Structure 1
Amino acid sequence: MSTTDAMSPVHDAKNVVGRVRNLIVSNHLERGDRLPPIRELAVQFGVKPGTVRDALLTAQAQGLVKVLPRVGAIVQTSEESFTGQDESERIGANIAGVIGQGDQNLFHILETREALEIAMVARAAERRELTELFRLRQILADMVKIPLEVESPEFAKLDIDFHLEIARLSGNSVMASMLRMLLVEIKPHLDRIRWSDNRRDSANESHARIYSSLVVGDVAQAQSEMRDHIRSTYNSLLDEMRKPPAVNGDE
């Protein structure tokens, strides 16, 4: 493959990551293709080999390449991944790659979700237009319609839809993409917690308070309600952790 790159030299790892991305696109590289050796890339980019090495490790964390000892950097994405996705989707994919590297502490992910959702609900309250709240209100109405005594996987789906809709209302597609990836990681753990009558009733009331704060555009109230709501989930998972695992299939 051609390794000619007419761009001017760069002198930091962050910029070299961008050059690596451009190299993948301009040479139409596919998943599994190998990049040139570090020393060759260093000459091509006009930087030291150590800078290229640091950049490749960063690119690996972003899901662009995989660095293998005595093999080199192997492409983990393709040209289509860059040209067929918008920036928020690419960032979301990178976050998913980072989360998937090793065992991540669930409660660290929940803390990240809390910070993210508090920021997004504040933006949604600042930007809110009543005409934009129709879908959020419809989600709430659909949740309330489900009888408390009926076990329904639809309730859990609507719960996620509620949070993703607030992410959309925030107007920040990158934040929304980040939240979507975090929820994918969290959902299997949430599914283990039964939606009891009390839990569902509490969730409905909490969602209603969040919605009301958005209607009036009260940023501080929206943040407070969202913080309490997310922490109730955190505490529910802590309660689940306190229980010993079921024995012999017992619930």
Structure 2
Amino acid sequence: MLIPSPLRFEKVSAKKVSDFIREQLEEAIILKELLSEEQLPTERELAEIFNASRITVREALSQLESKGLIEKRVGAKGGTFVLPVTANSHKRTRAEIAQDWEHMLKVFEYRMIVEPEAAFLAAARITADELDLLQHYLDQSIEADCTREWFRALDVKFHLAIAKASGNPLCEAAVRQIRTQINPALDLMPYDNQIRTVNYDVHTEILSALRARDAEKSREIMRHHIGHSADAIYARLVAKG
């Protein structure tokens, strides 16, 4: 009698080089590392960066363009430019978020494990420069002329900076992966002065706990913040639908 093997292997899946390039550029755009209206390098330059052909790069850019993430412009000031993700959030509808909600819940469960522990570690390891950087992000987020797109970018930067301050590159990589998956949902959330104020207040609490080197409090506030974020997304994008 054959005994079921405990080993679980995935079937071989040959990924196209263009998909590999597209995924990296898409992640950079979703994580706001490539900002709205920022011009991408030329096809020739991208081909050199990725060590790929220009045809392959062009295919990757075409996929990003179809998703509404970039736009090719002609003329003297032409080129390929990043579009505001929040301005094109209609391309990922509430129905899609609701349909993927079971997966999104698992992402939030994973986030609830990773980010509070990253904050716990950061409380002991964060540097003065990193604390100043977090404060800089907070100050910008509450300015009157802070746009929706820049507000979302600052939120991502704040959380990624804490993950980096944990001193554990695996935590940082995990938070990048998490934010890449949840940002499309967050980009569908409303934006007004009340949202900005609430976000500023809770981020200030986290930063204060980090400054005080209070690991337990840093972890607890981050856990509460993440739980509230998941509830808000569900109420706005799933329950309403």
TM-score range, shorter chain: 0.5 to 0.7
1:136-195, Cα deviation, whole Å (9 max, x unpaired): 111111112245xx6521000100000000011001111111111111111111111112
Structure 2 CA distance for aligned equivalents of residues 233 and 74 of structure 1: 35
- Indicate whether 1:132 and 2:126 are aligned: no
Candidates 136, 143, 147, aligned match of 1:145: 143
Letter in 2 for 1:166: I
SS for the counterpart of 1:195 is coil
CA contact 2:122–2:162 (8 Å) conserved in 1: yes
Structure 2 CA distance for aligned equivalents of residues 238 and 152 of structure 1: 20
- Indicate whether 1:174 and 2:170 are aligned: yes
Q: For the aligned residues, what is the CA RMSD?
A: 2.8
What does 1:183-194 align with in structure 2 at a 5 Å threshold? 183-194=179-190
Q: State the match for 1:232 in structure 2.
A: 228
Change (3 A) 1:216 1:77: farther
TM-score (norm 1): 0.56
Q: How many residues align?
A: 158
Higher relative contact order (CA 8 A, sep 6+): 2
Deviation of the 1:54 alpha carbon: 3.6
Change (3 A) 1:232 1:146: farther
Q: Which has the larger radius of gyration?
A: 1
Letter in 2 for 1:129: T
- Indicate whether 1:205 and 2:201 are aligned: yes
**Fraction of identical pairs, as percent:** 25
- Where structure 2 has 5 or more consecutive residues not aligned to the other structure, the ranges are 21-99
Letter in 1 for 2:190: R
CA contact 1:120–1:167 (8 Å) conserved in 2: yes
CA contact 2:141–2:196 (8 Å) conserved in 1: no
Deviation of the 1:196 alpha carbon: 3.0
Structure 1 CA distance for aligned equivalents of residues 230 and 219 of structure 2: 16
Change (3 A) 1:77 1:134: farther
Candidates 151, 156, 159, aligned match of 2:155: 159
TM-score (norm 2): 0.58
